[in-house]
Every structure is written in C-alpha cells, then in structure tokens.
C-alpha cells in the first residue's frame, strides 16, 4: 500500500499526522468485574496476604498448566525465588541473555551469583541457544531463559543442553504470558518460571508477579525466600523462625483481586494482541528499510512487544545508527504512530556489570574469583545491533484497541519510511 501525494508531507515537516490525536485507548480496560472484585477485597478483613492471593495463585497455575504458583510482589522477586529454589548460591555462574530488562540479570546477583552473558539470535531477539554451551563453565549452575517480547525460546533445544550439563532452567516469562512452544505455555517447560503483572504486562495488576513450578523441592526453597526465610508460609501455621536468608516478597489482597479479574480476560487479551499484530504487519509488510518480527515454526507469539528493526544498509545510512533511529522515532511520533525504544542498553554494558561492584568492595565478583569474567560489550555484537536499530509498537496493539488502530499506526510508520530521504537527523534532533 502506498500513501497518496496529499498524505506524503511528513507531519514533522509541516504536514498532517497520519493518526488522529488520542486514537489509542489506555491499557488495561477496566470493567465492572474489576471494580467489583477490588471493592469486595477492600470491604474484606484481610488486606495483607489474604484470600485473593491464594485464589490468584491457584487460578494462575491452572491457566498456565503448572502444579504450583506463588503470588509475589514482582516478576523480579519471582526470578530470585526461582534461582534459590533451584539451588543457586554464592559464586555460582548463571547464564542469561545479553539483551533484556535488567532484572533478568540483576536477580542473579541478588543471591551473590555471577551472570554469564550470551549474545542473542537476531531473528528471534532471544538468547542464541547455539552459543550457550560455549559459555558454560565448571561453576555454571543454571540458565535464566528469557522469553522476550512474547516469543518463546526453542525450549526443546535449550533443555537438551541443560540436561546434558545438569543445569537448572528458570524461565523468565515476565513479558510472555501465554506464549507457546510446541503447544506448551512458557513457564511449564523449565524447572520453574516467573511472570510479571506490572502496568505494561499482558496481565496488569498494577504490580506483582507469579512464581511457577511443578517441583515440590524447588517450591519449598522458593517459598522460604519469599517469606523471611521461614519454612511455613503465611497460609500455614507459622513459627516465625528464619531458617535461611529470606526476603519479604509477598503481595497484598487488593492487588491480587485486580489480578484475578484481569486473568479472566487474559486469553482474550492475547487474541487481541495477535490480531492487532497481524493488522499492523499487513500494512508494513514490504516497507523498504523495515525488518518485521518473526514467529518461527512451532511457536505462538503473543506480541507483547511488536519489535521492528531498521535496516540501516537498506536505507543507505552509514552514520551512528541510534542517531538515525531516534530521528525516525521523532518523525513517527509526529505522525501519531506511538513508537518506543524499549531498551537502549545491552545488559553487559550496564554500570553494575561494568564496575563489578554490586554490593561494594567488588562484591560478588571479587570474593568468588570472578573479576576476570568478560563483560566487554564488543563481545555481544548482535545484542548491540538490535538495541541500536529497533523500535516497537506496544500499547496501540493492546485491548481495547482493535485492528483499525493498528492499521493507522502502520500507515504513520510507512509514511515516514516512504519519505525517508527527507529525514535529516541533524535537523530533526538538533533543532531547538
């Protein structure tokens, strides 16, 4: 599809925007189910770890296909619980992707273990499974398997590697509720998993997370960390004795009530995300200079994040890629297309890893002979290339927005790329 000449003047250069103002409706949709369940919790008598927390855990486990679930205060907490449940301790090495949200790696140093980064596969944006074995050391204990942006890792191949080397696998499914590999949902294929429910997630409870597992021993270790290092949970007869190092990772009844209400609609939300992603793709397919997200065979992508890359070679840009990307971002935003840069930094380049000084005095690297672990960003070129050239469409693809909104977003993006010769980064980025 090509825009007519009357539409071709870019909004950033004085033309009319492709998208009407305020066309994107806010996420998440709130209805009477949400209001009633939250009000019932508010009118209840237990606002700490109350009945909705236990019910939410049970219902989430059933929806996802797990034997056990624990409602916690964040996805980060659920990841930390997974590491402890899997027996990761001080000085152990844990493999993780070079590109993700910081929590995918900082959860490792939360328990004084050492992150070992592996570059990503460009097509999927997930960890390059074929590079994992080369990163395994005698101290490697586990893999944090991040299913990024709604797309699962090839878990069959990853679990073969993990089983061969006797490694535990913690699935970071914080962005990928309902994503599938060979018909199995993320969070059911490794030894345990983590979900997040913050504002941006496909299930929004405001904040919160869920720890998932089918393993009783892992459940026990995770539960102890979750509640002050105790061995009896708040739903049992507690003795209030700390048996190990523990945190207070519990959440509250009001948040759980909101989460339960949203869980009733989660399957429909995922269908909406996929339908809207299809509508956006249909408009953008074939646009010169754009690389669309992929959905490999045997995968079900939920499109939590519709991540697009700019082909700098195709558009003839030889300068700093982020400069052109950011100029195009401003031009797309002027068209009303709502583009975002999801993560501008690869994980190894973040200061906490470059400094190797999370707790002071070089901890945990110094006391575990890990100061020679190499976090040189140049060793993760695919992660860096993706980070420098991507942008994403996220909220316009969420309910209650429909395909017509996705189509207009696509028209705004396409308009910019069909007029890319008119984009001067120096003019757009440096103007006052």
**pLDDT tens string 377-415:** 999 999 999 999 999 999 999 999 999 999 999 999 999
Q: Is residue 129 part of a domain?
A: yes
* Rounded Cα distance, 126 and 119, in Å: 9
Q: Residue 304 in contact with residue 276, Cβ under 8 Å?
A: no
Are residues 324 and 209 both part of a single domain?
Answer: no
Quote the crossing angle between the two packed helices 403-418 and 321-334, to the nearest 10°: 130
Give the Cβ contact number of residue 165 at 10 Å: 14
Residue 3's pLDDT band (cuts 50, 70, 90): very low
Q: Are residues 14 and 36 in the same domain?
A: no
For the chain, the domain total comes to 2
Query: What average pLDDT does this structure show over 309-324?
Result: 98
- pLDDT per residue over 55-71, tens digit each? 999 999 999 999 999 99
Assess if residue 18 is contained within a domain: yes
Q: What is the mean pLDDT of residues 352-361?
A: 96
- Is position 388 within any domain? no
pLDDT at 38: 98
Asked if residue 385 belongs to a domain, the reply is no
Q: 382 near 122, Cβ under 8 Å?
A: yes
Q: Residue 356 domain-assigned?
A: no
CA distances to 30, 205, 386 from 262, in Å: 9, 7, 32
pLDDT of residue 239: 76
Domain that residue 79 falls in: 32-265
Instruction: Kindly state whether residues 322 and 248 are assigned to the same domain.
Output: no
Is the same domain home to 78 and 196?
yes
Report d(CA 188, CA 162) in Å as an integer.
Answer: 15
**Which of 279, 264, 366, 345 lies closest to 34, judged by CA?**
264
Would residue 237 count as lying in a domain? yes
Nearest to 323 by CA among 412, 205, 426, 420: 426
Query: Is 354 part of a structural domain of the chain?
Result: no
- Please tell me which residue, 354 or 241, carries the higher pLDDT value: 354
Calculate mean pLDDT across residues 101-112. 97
pLDDT, mean over the chain: 95
Q: In this structure, are 312 and 221 located in the same domain?
A: no
| The CA-based dihedral angle spanning residues 15, 20, 22, 23, taken in that order and rounded to the nearest 10 degrees | -140
For the segment 257-275, the average pLDDT, to the nearest whole number, is 98
Structure tokens belonging to residue 163? 């089983």
CATH number of the CATH domain containing 44: 3.40.640.10
Identify the domain boundary among 215, 240, 265.
Answer: 265
Please name which of 346, 341, 293 lies closest in space to residue 123, comparing C-alpha atoms: 293
Give the pLDDT of residue 12: 96
Same domain flag for 257 and 275: no
C-alpha to C-alpha distance for 13 and 10, rounded to whole angstroms: 5
Quote the pLDDT of residue 237: 72
Residue 229 has pLDDT above 80, yes or no: no
Q: What percent of the chain has pLDDT over 70?
A: 97
Is the same domain home to 175 and 60? Answer: yes
Q: What is the structure's pLDDT at 431?
A: 67
Q: Which of 265, 285, 316 is the last residue of a domain?
A: 265
Q: Which residues contact 413 (CB under 8 A, 6 or more apart)?
A: 283, 284, 287, 290, 308, 332, 335, 337, 339, 393
pLDDT of residue 5: 37
Higher-confidence residue of 421 and 1: namely 421
> Can you tell me the mean pLDDT for 130-150?
98
Whether 270 and 280 map to the same domain: the answer is: yes
Q: Measured between alpha carbons, how far is residue 321 from residues 310, 331, 381, 398, 422 in Å?
A: 9, 16, 13, 29, 17
- Asked whether residue 204 falls in the same domain as residue 281, the answer is no
User: Checking phi first, is residue 183 left (phi over 0); if not, alpha (psi -120 to 50) or beta?
Assistant: left
The reported pLDDT for the residue numbered 7 is 62
- What mean pLDDT do residues 270-299 have? 98
Q: Is residue 348 domain-resident? A: no
Same domain, 131 and 242: yes
Asked if the model's pLDDT at residue 220 lies above 50, the reply is yes
Last residue of a domain, one of 217, 236, 265: 265
Residues 196 and 291 in one domain: no
User: Cβ neighbours of residue 84 under 8 Å, at least 6 residues apart?
Assistant: 111, 221, 222, 224, 225
Does one domain contain both 68 and 140? Answer: yes
């Amino acid at each position: 599809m090509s825009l007519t000449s009357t539409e071709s003047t870019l909004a950033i250069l004085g033309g009319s925007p492709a998208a009407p103002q305020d066309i994107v409706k806010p996420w998440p949709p709130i209805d009477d189910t949400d209001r009633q369940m939250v009000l019932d919790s508010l009118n209840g008598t237990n606002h700490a770890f109350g009945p909705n927390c236990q019910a939410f855990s049970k219902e989430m486990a059933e929806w996802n296909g797990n034997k056990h679930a624990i409602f916690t205060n964040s996805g980060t907490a659920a990841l930390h619980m997974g590491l402890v449940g899997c027996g990761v301790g001080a000085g152990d090495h844990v493999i993780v992707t070079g590109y993700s949200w910081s929590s995918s790696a900082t959860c490792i140093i939360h328990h004084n273990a050492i992150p070992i980064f592996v570059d990503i596969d460009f097509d999927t944006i997930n960890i390059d499974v074929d590079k994992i074995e080369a990163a395994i050391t005698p101290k490697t204990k586990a893999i944090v398997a991040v299913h990024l942006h709604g797309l699962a890792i090839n878990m069959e191949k990853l679990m073969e590697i993990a089983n061969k080397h006797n490694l535990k696998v913690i699935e970071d499914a914080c962005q990928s509720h309902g994503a599938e590999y060979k018909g199995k949902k993320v969070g059911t294929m490794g030894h345990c998993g983590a979900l997040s429910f913050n504002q941006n997630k496909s299930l929004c409870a405001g904040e919160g997370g869920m720890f998932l597992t089918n393993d009783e021993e892992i459940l026990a270790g995770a539960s102890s960390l979750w509640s002050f290092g105790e061995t009896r949970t708040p739903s049992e007869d507690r003795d209030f004795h700390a048996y190990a190092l523990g945190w207070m990772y519990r959440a509250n009844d009001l948040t759980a009530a909101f989460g339960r209400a949203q869980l009733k609609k989660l399957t429909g939300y995922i269908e909406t995300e996929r339908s809207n992603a299809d509508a956006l793709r249909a408009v953008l397919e074939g646009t010169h200079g754009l690389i669309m997200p992929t959905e490999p065979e045997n995968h079900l992508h939920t499109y939590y994040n519709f991540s697009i890359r700019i082909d700098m070679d195709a558009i003839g840009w030889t300068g700093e890629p982020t400069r052109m990307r950011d100029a195009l971002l401003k031009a797309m935003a002027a068209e009303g297309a709502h583009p975002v840069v999801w993560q501008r930094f690869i994980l190894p380049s973040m200061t906490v890893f470059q400094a190797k000084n999370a707790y002071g005095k070089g901890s945990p690297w110094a006391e575990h002979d890990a100061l020679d672990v190499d976090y040189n960003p140049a060793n993760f070129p695919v992660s860096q290339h993706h980070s420098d050239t991507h942008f994403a469409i996220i909220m316009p693809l969420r309910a209650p927005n429909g395909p017509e909104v996705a189509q207009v977003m696509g028209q705004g993006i396409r308009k910019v790329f069909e007029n890319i010769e008119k984009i001067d980064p120096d003019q757009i980025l440096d103007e006052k």
